[in-house]
Amino acid sequence: MKIEDLQKKAKTLRKDIIEMIYRAKSGHPGGSLSIADILAVLYWKEMNVDPENPKMENRDRLVLSKGHAAPALYAALIEKGFLGDEGKNLIPTLRRWHSPLQGHPDMKKLAGVEMSTGSLGQGLSAANGMALSAKIYNNDFRVYTILGDGELQEGQVWEAVMTAAHYKLDNLVAIVDYNNLQIDGKVSDVMDVAPIGEKFKAFNWSVIEIDGHNYEEIINALDTAKTVKGKPTVIVANTAKGKGVSFMENNPGFHGMAPNEEEYKKAMEELKED
């Protein structure tokens, strides 16, 4: 798929995200919007997945460790076809009772969700298990996990980082959504995690730093990760929280706040197709 087509996919994902959160009157728009470009590349160019056979043995896996960004994952699964013809009809049901689109991903409720996440810090551990399993059983699928930068403040993350390096999980790629904002403000003010790249290098990971909204850089980083042998790869993706909606960009207030009607209309107008 061409880059311009991936950009259109990402814009569709962003519209779905805003629609979901506005209808729910709650949710996390900022960190969902910041990973839309990465998800577009993963689902429409990178990962080997089949919406018609979501449990195929050799599928690539994605663990959304920052589970509060569930609307972004749901949008990707809906647009990719994992929810069938009814997928679009589910968009207004985010966070509703009995909806498969819960506030955080639930692997028992929705095809395509590889791991139930939400308690921050646990996704990389789950991804490690999947990648190690592939090694043990000689499967050639790859495992991807997306972490928030504030999530790196969790100690379990660094235990998992050490484990992945110890077992030489070169079929594992961690992607850090480095937007430098969390619910209480700047990550650098709350509990600084910099320098992220140097810390991962110290744990014997291969490190690639990119602009997380530049499609060529995203694609090249994922391609490079496939050539790395004997160690896992982390892609440190510098992003803007709320990317794609001007008044949400780099605004910590929209970490976990739904837009009102006026803001919703303005956001959807900005995301209209050219």
- At 198-257, the pLDDT tens digits run 999 999 999 999 999 999 999 999 999 999 999 999 999 999 999 999 999 999 999 999
Task: Indicate if the pLDDT at residue 8 is higher than 80.
Answer: yes
What would the two tokens of residue 86 be? 């009814």
Establish how many alpha carbons lie within 13 A of residue 149's alpha carbon, considering only the half-sphere containing its beta carbon: 33
How far is 125 from 161, CA to CA, in rounded Å? 8
Across the range 71-100, mean pLDDT stands at 96
pLDDT in tens, 254-268: 999 999 999 999 999
Write the DSSP symbol of residue 92: G
DSSP secondary structure of 129-186: HHHHHHHHTT----EEEEEETGGGGSHHHHHHHHHHHHTT-TTEEEEEEE--EETTEE
Q: Is 117 helix (H, G, I), strand (E, B) or coil?
A: coil
pLDDT in tens, 16-44: 999 999 999 999 999 999 999 999 999 99
How far is 98 from 122, CA to CA, in rounded Å? 25
Write the DSSP symbol of residue 206: E
The single residue listed with the structure tokens 């519209």 is 15
Residue 45 CA, chain-centre distance (Å), reads 15
Contact between residue 156 and residue 122 where contact means Cβ atoms under 8 Å apart: yes
Task: Indicate if the pLDDT at residue 78 is higher than 80.
Answer: yes
Counts of helices then strands in the chain (DSSP H, E): 10, 7
How far is 16 from 33, CA to CA, in rounded Å? 10
Q: Is 53 helix (H, G, I), strand (E, B) or coil?
A: coil
E-only strand ranges, the chain: 61-64, 143-148, 172-178, 181-182, 185-186, 206-211, 233-238
User: What is the pLDDT, as a whole number, of residue 184?
Assistant: 93
Pairing outcome for strands 61-64 and 181-182: unpaired
Task: Indicate if the pLDDT at residue 274 is higher than 80.
Answer: no
Sign of CA dihedral 153, 159, 165, 169: negative
User: What is the pLDDT, as a whole number, of residue 1?
Assistant: 87
Residue whose C-alpha is closest to residue 114's, from 142, 88, 92, 136: 142
Q: Is residue 144 within a helix (H) or strand (E), and if so which, with residue range?
A: strand 143-148
Cis peptide before 92 (omega within 30 of 0): no
What would the two tokens of residue 4 be? 């311009």
